[in-house]
Amino acid sequence: MESTHISALNTKHAGLERQIHEEMMRPAPDDAKIKTLKRRKLRIKEEILMN
């Protein structure tokens, strides 16, 4: 069961990475949005490492 949780976290982490990349590629990236996404991504990474 826990591996399913880790898998879900990895999927979320990859999705956030994609969103960050997409935002950075825009002509006028929203720095606040990027910062928020990076914080969420870091929290997920920390949760993955704790398991």
Give me the residue spans of the domains in the chain: 2-50
pLDDT of residue 1: 54
pLDDT of residue 2: 73
Q: Summarize the confidence of residues 5-11 as an average pLDDT.
A: 96
Rounded to the nearest 10 degrees, the angle between the axes of helix 31-50 and helix 2-25 is: 160
Q: What is the pLDDT confidence band of residue 51, given thresholds at 50, 70 and 90?
A: confident
- pTM, entire model: 0.88
41 touches 13 (CB < 8 A): yes
**Cα 32 from Cα 51, distance rounded (Å):** 29
DSSP label at 29?
-
Q: How many helices (H) and strands (E) does the chain have?
A: 2, 0
What are 28-39's pLDDT values in tens digits? 999 999 999 999
